[in-house]
Structure 1
Amino acid sequence: MINRKLIIAAALVCVANTGFAQTEAPVTVKSEPGKVTATSTVKTTSTVVSIEPGTRTVVLKDAKGKVVQVVVGEEARNFDQIKVGDVVKVEYSQALTMMLKKGNAPLTANETQTLERAPEGAKPGGSASRQVTIMANVIAVDHQSGVVTLKGPQGNTVDLAVQDPEQLKRIKKGDQIQAVYTEAVAIAVEPVAGK
C-alpha cells in the first residue's frame, strides 16, 4: 500500500535514488548464534550546476564528473532556496537482521515510516526512514543445499540460502524467523561556500 507519507518521502529523496543507482555500497555482516545482520551505507556529495525553476529541475555534478538531472517534487519545501554552487549531501543506509525464534508467535508483517522535512525558509533537506518487520514460519530445511523455506503471514513462501553451516545447524522445521529490514536516507543542501 502506497500512502501519502511515502510519496512525499520519495519526492524528497529523489536525489538519493538517482545518485545511488550506480553506486555499490560495501556490506558489513555481523553474525552471532541465531542472528545475522547485514548493513550498508552510501554517502555522496554533489554540486548544483544549474536550476530550471519552471520544471523544478536541478542538475547535479558529483566529484567524478557524473551529471544527473533531478526533478524535485512540489512536496519538497523551499525549492527557491536552492542556488547554483550549493552542495547536496546524501546518506543512504540499509540493514537487514534475521533472528531465529523458538516458539509459536503469530505470523505478522508490520511497517513503520518516518519523515522529517526542512523548516519553511531553510535550505531544502530532510530525512525519511522505513522499517518492515516480518515473522515467518520455517516449513522446511534442506541441509544439503543450505536452503531454508519460510512461510509468511500472507501464505507466501520464500527460499532463504543460509551460507553459514553453523547457523544452518540451529534452524529446525517449526522454528520461526523474524526479519527486520530498515532503510533511511538523509539529504542536506548546504549553501555555496563563503555565502
Structure 2
Amino acid sequence: MQVEKTPLNDCLLIKPTVFEDHRGVFLETYHRKRLAEFSGIDAEFVQDNQSVSHFGVLRGLHFQHGEHAQTKIVRVIHGKVLDVVVDLRPESSTYKKTFSVILDDENLYQLYVPKGFGHGFLTLSEKSVFSYKCDNYYTPGSEGGIRYDDPELAINWNFPEEEFILSEKDKKLPFLKDISL
C-alpha cells in the first residue's frame, strides 16, 4: 500500500498493493492497521455505501456537517469516474481549494476524504459502481451540498455541461457563498 498526500490538507490518495497473475487480481481494499501504519489514520468505519451510475451522471458536491460529519474512503469497483473534493474547513490553509483524480477499476486507487470536505464524482464510463466507506452514520438532517458549477470553486469537470445527468436535488444545491459552514 502506498499513501500519497494530495494538494489538500489531510486528503490522501491510497494506492493498494495489487497482486496479479494468470487468474486475475487480488487486493486488500481496506486494512485498518496498515492504513494507520502508512498514514497515521485510525478511523473506525461504521457504514459502507454503494452507488451505480450511468455515463454522464454527476453526483455532488455533498457533505455531512456538525456532529454527523463523515470521513470517507471512496473507490470505484467497476468503471471510471472523475472524483472531486473541496476543503470546506474555514480554518484550513487549503479552504475552498479543490482536488480531482480519476478513480477506476484499472488503477484501483482510493481517496481518503476527511470530515469537512465536500465530495462529488462524474461517471466517465458506460456504468460505474462506486463505494463509500464512512466513519459516521448518514443523518438526513445533517446533509449539505454545493452546486457542481459554483463559480468560486471553478471546478473543471472536463466534460460537456449539457451532457451532465443530475438529480433534481443536486440541481437545486446552493452556491458556496450562500451557505454557512
**Does TM, scored on the shorter chain, surpass 0.5?**
no
TM-score scaled by length of structure 2: 0.24
Instruction: Flag the structure with larger Rg.
Output: 1
TM-score scaled by length of structure 1: 0.23
Compare the two structures and name the one with the higher strand fraction: 1
